[in-house]
Amino acid sequence: MMPLLSLAGVSRVYARGSRPVHALDDVTLHIECGEFVSVTGPSGSGKSTLLHVLALLDTPTAGRYELAGADVARLADTERARLRNRRIGLVFQSFQLVSHLTVVENVELPLVYRGVESRARRASACAALERVGLAARLSHLPDELSGGEQQRAAIARAVVAEPDVLLADEPTGNLDAAATQTILEIFENVHRTGTTVVVVTHNPRVAASARRRYEMRCGTLRPVAAAQDGA
């Protein structure tokens, strides 16, 4: 089967003064449709860079990136944005909801970009918010919600357009243990409905919830052996 996400020999070098930083160093990673993958590792090891490359927010310096079989490593910005909107849902540590829009309006945004008409948009956004337990918060502004609720709204926004893959960068970094548990359960649900999930995290509990686990060290990626499960 063709992988959904396929990195082959991918490097990302930042030119910083006379000492280049190898944020990604010859990373090869193949993720099939429907997988649940986590990437952990110390701060500065390249996790966010990896996620940004997968999300088409950053461009590899070397190597190949294929998304659903298409070479996407060096596309023009408009084409990357179009593909991202069609195939990728993104969740960040800082939620990144639009502060002057209500919760339901935030969740509608990916559908606005797709040109979905307003009633269908509202119906899909309400259904997505119901899935994350926020049906009672539709017309609240983001800062009227707790951190955990804001992240649930951000997940609803990420999945409302039924992306192939949900990519999350440190999604529980600002949350307490109870809210983290709720987010993990939502990821499980998203995964169960067939969406591929990739989570980058410091949190061992979040990492352990994935079926396939990787660790980054100094820009290189290695699988976490089964013997280390439960760590």
CB nearer ligand ADP, residue 95 or residue 104: 95
The amino acid sitting at 116 is V
Q: Determine if 19 is a binding residue for ligand ADP (CB under 6 A).
A: no
- Which one of 46, 60, 89, 110 is in contact with ligand ADP (CB under 6 A)? 46
Distances (CA, A) of 11 to 40, 88, 218: 18, 21, 12
CA distance 159 to 194: 12
Crossing angle of helices 147-159 and 118-131, rounded to 10°: 130
What is the rounded distance in angstroms from the CA atom of residue 120 to the CA atom of residue 140?
Answer: 20
> Is the CB of 145 or the CB of 167 nearer to ligand ADP?
167
Longest dimension (CA), the chain: 55
Token representation of residue 21 = 């930083």
Minimum gap (Å) between residue 110 Cβ and ligand ADP: 24
Q: Which stretch binds ligand ADP (CB under 6 A): 38-46, 79-87, 120-128, 179-187?
A: 38-46
Q: Which is nearer to ligand ADP, 44 or 194 (CB)?
A: 44
Q: Is 203 in the site for ligand ADP (CB under 6 A)?
A: no
As measured in angstroms, the least distance from the Cβ of 136 to ligand ADP is: 35
Q: What is the residue whose two structure tokens read 């926004």?
A: 157
49 binds ligand ADP (CB under 6 A): yes
The neighbour count for residue 16, using CB atoms within 10 Å, is 8
Residue nearer to ligand ADP on the CB measure, 112 or 218: 218
Interacting residues with ligand ADP (CB under 6 A):
14, 16, 21, 23, 41, 43-49
